[in-house]
Chains A and B, each alone.
Chain A
Amino acid sequence: MNFVTHILRFRIIGVLAFFRGMDVERRIRTIVGATVLALFFFGALFFFWYLFDYLSKIREIGILLMDRIISLGFLAIFLMLVISNTITAISTLYRSGETTDLFHRPLPHRQLFIARFLDNLLYSTWGVLVLGVPIILAYGIVRGISWWGYLYEFCFILLPFTVIPGCLGVGVIIFVYLASGHLKPRTVVLGLLALLSLVIVIYLNIGQTSTLSRNILGDWRVLNSFLGSLSATSFPFMPHFWVSQTLRQLAGKPGIDLLLYTFALLSTMLVSVRLLFRAAERYYYVSWQNSYGHATTPKKAVRKFSLPAFFGLPQWLPSDFRSVLAKDLKLFIREPAQWAQFLILLVLLIIYLINLRHFPGNMTDKFWRTIISFANFAFTGFILATLAVRFVYPNISLEGRAFWAIASSPMPIKRLFWEKFFSAFIIFALLAEILAFISNIMLGLTGYMMILSFFSILLMSVALTSLSVGMGAVFPRFDERNPGRIASSMGGTITTVISLVYVCLAVIIIALPAYRYSVYTIDGTIDFPAREFIISGILLLLLNAATIVIPIRIGLKSITERDF
């Protein structure tokens, strides 16, 4: 009997039963969620179509830039898929009641693993594809890919492109739990992080990003030759490169290269799957036992009050507020799934900041200085949006099934909501301002631009925290212990989409007057753009007011009226 299809059949039955059994409120939430996702999908499609269409009209380098964006975009998606698969595997393949239950049943471990692996792959991938598919469609529309080209791309290219990082991510987690039988999980995770840092540093150094920032200041011909030279350093052995190359082939006259890259993707997928399944056959059960053992075997006692006890927090805070805050800090530090991801993001941020040192400090061209400072502002915004959804959004859900203790205590649920808000906001705003400050210094921004950046980032921190805390209260998942999975749930994905839209709008609103201002400083004959500044200020105020007030109001209403 094929247990994999049997398990998957009941998974589908479960999903259908979930949709059939939805009450009116859940139905409305689902419809709203699906609408937001659809809007994001078509918004992203329009954005990339507009961008590619613009680039396609730039002579000589337009197509090259487009291909470069596609390649970099798919590299980012590939990395996201690896991280997402790794983190989700903890709760799907290991710390899952369903997996434990399946291990009790008389079915081969290989089939059990395949069923859980497919589950993990689906869960980790769908959200990322909401971003990936519009990029492909937009590229295809601009470059005139035919319908069979799309069909080819989705069947033979996208499938292996998502399975390969899935195998990689799950392979990493099997290794971690296997090694944790001999080493402390903390040591294994730190070791992997060090390895990841090393790989990224090597990648960026070979990728010669510093050359880009210098040459872009020269003329377009230098940039063109620079982009051409990048083909040697675009990692032709990486799947994101193969995807970009197949798209390029499909847009032109498909040749033997199309088959070559398709073969590279398909064969890599088959080898990855084969290797993973073989490894799983030998090591999955052992590693699962290790993960189970870690939670159940007696360990040495925790040192008494080794972490800041809540009585060490400021006394002017209400007792219940301090108590929940201290508990949250302890749980964060003691949860490897939390701090490991936090460290990954921190490593990426540090590498980004280190790479900014290549930026020429003596750049005097105000136009380019403005453009680059806005690119940095947008990047900071996107990083903050990611951090907020990943670390702030799950906070209320992470109270989990133990929430009864707070719900039955005299602590008002409203206060719990504000505890979640302020504790996240303080850490979040601090991190955001440090990131903005260092990157501005690296880019040589001072004076008004620094002050503008300070307030914009502060405002953005309030808005993104409000959004994540509010939406986290509207879509809580008390049954889920893995914060990564909470963040990638439907509510989390909607929050990601809204956060990204907010960041885009904020950047566009601020960029318009800043662009006019930079032109004004270059060309003394035009007027100071006062009207643009006023309109921009009003729009920014409205945008932030809506992003701060609406989620907090609906979040508070939802959580206070909820039965636990």
Chain B
Amino acid sequence: MLKFIEVSKKFGQQPAVENLNLEIGQGELFGFLGPNGAGKTTTIKMAAGILKPTSGRIEIDGIDIQNQPERAKTLIGYVPDSPYLYERLTAREYLEFIGGLYGISKPQIDLRAEELFDLFGMNGWVDRRCEQYSHGMRQKVVFAAAMLHRPPTLVVDEPMVGLDPQSARIVKDLLKEYAAAGNTVFISTHTLSIAEELCDRIGIINGGRLVAAGKLEQLRSLSEQSEASLESLFLKLINN
């Protein structure tokens, strides 16, 4: 479970996120939508423990990420929007490195890494250095690294960027299955069709404030447009 309680973040005097209250339950796939600069990535980075909130609390399975960062971070897997890797490591070595950070034993890493490489169809590439990878391949490595320690909460910033249609399908199925298995999945995206297709609930953020959150039907009733597409709902809520 992922919980934001009165979370705000300022960069200097500039507010990026203001008074965010949000709870994402177990088995739920939550989509976070918003225009550029709305505060999506800042929110996700705070959830991953990379940025510190200026005020408020973030809890992962009841553990405050500020007070017990090490414990909380073992419960979360994070996929950033830009998949920067150590260029001179291979995918296998990268996963070994990440596994070491989470205290996983070598046999366990090997076993899980093979599973994930199979899942993402990466087997021909895993012993080549990351500097040779395409954007999509890097994205796959980052996904594999985030899922290596089987975290109960997965936080993904723009999951489909750079993926080919086949890999995008794999990731979509994976996210659905991951949530269906009782885990919490929190994704941010610009692609409204993905949110519409995948998410159990959707949150819309604009100017650092959460302007709406709920199931698609709830959002429709909120905007008094019962048959509207997510795109027109999104534009109406943002413009209001």
Using a CB–CB cutoff of 8 Å, the interface residues on chain A facing chain B are: 23, 295-299, 301-304, 309-311, 319-320, 322-324, 326-327, 330-331, 334-335, 400-402, 404-412, 563-564
**Measured CA separation A331–B45 after assembly (Å):** 26
**Measured CA separation A97–B135 after assembly (Å):** 16
Q: Which of A301, A323, A404, A408 contacts B97 (CB 8 A)?
A: A323
- The distance from the CB of B72 to the nearest CB of chain A, in whole angstroms, is 8
Assess the A301–B128 pair: CB atoms within 8 A. yes
User: Per-residue 0/1 for B35-65: is the Cβ within 8 Å of any A Cβ (1 yes, 0 no)?
Assistant: 0000000000100111110000000000000
**Measured CA separation A335–B88 after assembly (Å):** 8
Assess the A563–B50 pair: CB atoms within 8 A. yes
Q: Which of B70, B84, B89, B90 contacts A331 (CB 8 A)?
A: B89
- The distance from the CB of B27 to the nearest CB of chain A, in whole angstroms, is 23
- The distance from the CB of B39 to the nearest CB of chain A, in whole angstroms, is 14
Highest count of chain B CB atoms <10 Å: which of A334, A335, A402, A412: A402
Q: Which residues of chain B are within 8 angstroms of A330 by Cβ–Cβ distance? A: 88-89, 93
Assess the B101–A296 pair: CB atoms within 8 A. no
Q: Which of A295, A301, A406 contacts B127 (CB 8 A)?
A: A301
**Measured CA separation A326–B96 after assembly (Å):** 10
- Minimal Cβ-Cβ distance residue in B for A300: B128
- Asked if B201 is an interface residue, CB under 8 A from chain A, the answer is no
- Minimal Cβ-Cβ distance residue in A for B42: A563
Q: Which residues of chain B are within 8 angstroms of A322 by Cβ–Cβ distance? A: 100
**Measured CA separation A401–B50 after assembly (Å):** 12
- The distance from the CB of A311 to the nearest CB of chain B, in whole angstroms, is 5
Nearest 10 interchain pairs by C-beta: A323-B100, A301-B127, A401-B84, A409-B101, A334-B88, A410-B70, A410-B73, A408-B48, A408-B78, A319-B103
- The distance from the CB of B75 to the nearest CB of chain A, in whole angstroms, is 9
Assess the B70–A327 pair: CB atoms within 8 A. no
**Measured CA separation A334–B129 after assembly (Å):** 10
Assess the B128–A299 pair: CB atoms within 8 A. yes
- Asked if B175 is an interface residue, CB under 8 A from chain A, the answer is no
- The distance from the CB of B71 to the nearest CB of chain A, in whole angstroms, is 7
Q: Which residues of chain A are within 8 angstroms of B145 by Cβ–Cβ distance? A: 405
Q: Which residues of chain A are within 8 angstroms of B51 by Cβ–Cβ distance? A: 563-564
Known: A407-B49, A564-B50. A319 touches B82 (CB 8 A): no
Extra 13 A-B pairs, beta carbons < 8 Å, given A324-B100, A404-B78, A408-B49: A23-B12, A295-B131, A296-B132, A299-B128, A299-B132, A310-B97, A326-B97, A327-B86, A401-B82, A408-B48, A409-B102, A410-B73, A412-B70
Known: A309-B96, A320-B103, A330-B89. A408 touches B76 (CB 8 A): yes
**Measured CA separation A311–B78 after assembly (Å):** 25
- Asked if B74 is an interface residue, CB under 8 A from chain A, the answer is yes
Assess the B85–A402 pair: CB atoms within 8 A. yes
**Measured CA separation A23–B102 after assembly (Å):** 36
- Asked if B25 is an interface residue, CB under 8 A from chain A, the answer is no
Assess the B101–A411 pair: CB atoms within 8 A. yes
Assess the B50–A407 pair: CB atoms within 8 A. yes
- The distance from the CB of A415 to the nearest CB of chain B, in whole angstroms, is 10
- Asked if B69 is an interface residue, CB under 8 A from chain A, the answer is yes
Q: Which of B52, B84, B85, B100 contacts A319 (CB 8 A)?
A: B100
- Interface size counted on chain B using CB atoms at 8 A: 41
Q: Which of B85, B86, B90, B102 contacts A410 (CB 8 A)?
A: B102
User: Per-residue 0/1 for B124-155: is the Cβ within 8 Å of any A Cβ (1 yes, 0 no)?
Assistant: 00011101100000000000010000000000
Q: Which residues of chain B are within 8 angstroms of A327 by Cβ–Cβ distance? A: 86, 89, 93, 97
**Measured CA separation A470–B86 after assembly (Å):** 23
- Minimal Cβ-Cβ distance residue in A for B98: A405
- Asked if B80 is an interface residue, CB under 8 A from chain A, the answer is yes
Assess the A406–B101 pair: CB atoms within 8 A. yes
User: Per-residue 0/1 for B155-177: is the Cβ within 8 Å of any A Cβ (1 yes, 0 no)?
Assistant: 00000000000000000000000
- Minimal Cβ-Cβ distance residue in A for B74: A410
Assess the A311–B85 pair: CB atoms within 8 A. no
- Asked if B215 is an interface residue, CB under 8 A from chain A, the answer is no
**Measured CA separation A308–B51 after assembly (Å):** 33
- Asked if B92 is an interface residue, CB under 8 A from chain A, the answer is yes
Assess the A298–B88 pair: CB atoms within 8 A. no
Q: Which residues of chain B are within 8 angstroms of A408 by Cβ–Cβ distance? A: 48-50, 73, 76, 78
- The distance from the CB of B96 to the nearest CB of chain A, in whole angstroms, is 7
Assess the A400–B84 pair: CB atoms within 8 A. yes
- Asked if B236 is an interface residue, CB under 8 A from chain A, the answer is no
Q: Which residues of chain B are within 8 angstroms of A320 by Cβ–Cβ distance? A: 100-103
Q: Which residues of chain B are within 8 angstroms of A310 by Cβ–Cβ distance? A: 96-97, 100
Q: Which residues of chain A are within 8 angstroms of B12 by Cβ–Cβ distance? A: 23
**Measured CA separation A331–B101 after assembly (Å):** 17
**Measured CA separation A319–B73 after assembly (Å):** 16
Q: Which of B195-232 contact A (CB under 8 A)?
A: none
Q: Which residues of chain B are within 8 angstroms of A405 by Cβ–Cβ distance? A: 97-98, 101, 145
Can you name 17 A-B residue pairings with CB atoms under 8 Å? A297-B132, A301-B127, A302-B127, A302-B129, A303-B127, A310-B100, A311-B106, A322-B100, A324-B100, A327-B86, A327-B89, A327-B93, A330-B88, A407-B50, A408-B48, A408-B76, A410-B70
Assess the B88–A331 pair: CB atoms within 8 A. yes
**Measured CA separation A295–B87 after assembly (Å):** 9
Q: Which residues of chain A are within 8 angstroms of B78 by Cβ–Cβ distance? A: 404, 408
Q: Which residues of chain B are within 8 angstroms of A402 by Cβ–Cβ distance? A: 84-86
Q: Which residues of chain B are within 8 angstroms of A23 by Cβ–Cβ distance? A: 12
Q: Which of B169-195 contact A (CB under 8 A)?
A: none
Q: Which residues of chain B are within 8 angstroms of A311 by Cβ–Cβ distance? A: 106
**Measured CA separation A298–B86 after assembly (Å):** 17
**Measured CA separation A342–B131 after assembly (Å):** 23
Q: Which residues of chain A are within 8 angstroms of B106 by Cβ–Cβ distance? A: 309, 311
Assess the B132–A404 pair: CB atoms within 8 A. no
- The distance from the CB of A409 to the nearest CB of chain B, in whole angstroms, is 4
Q: Which residues of chain B are within 8 angstroms of A324 by Cβ–Cβ distance? A: 97, 100-101
Known: A295-B132, A400-B84. A410 touches B100 (CB 8 A): no
- Minimal Cβ-Cβ distance residue in A for B146: A408
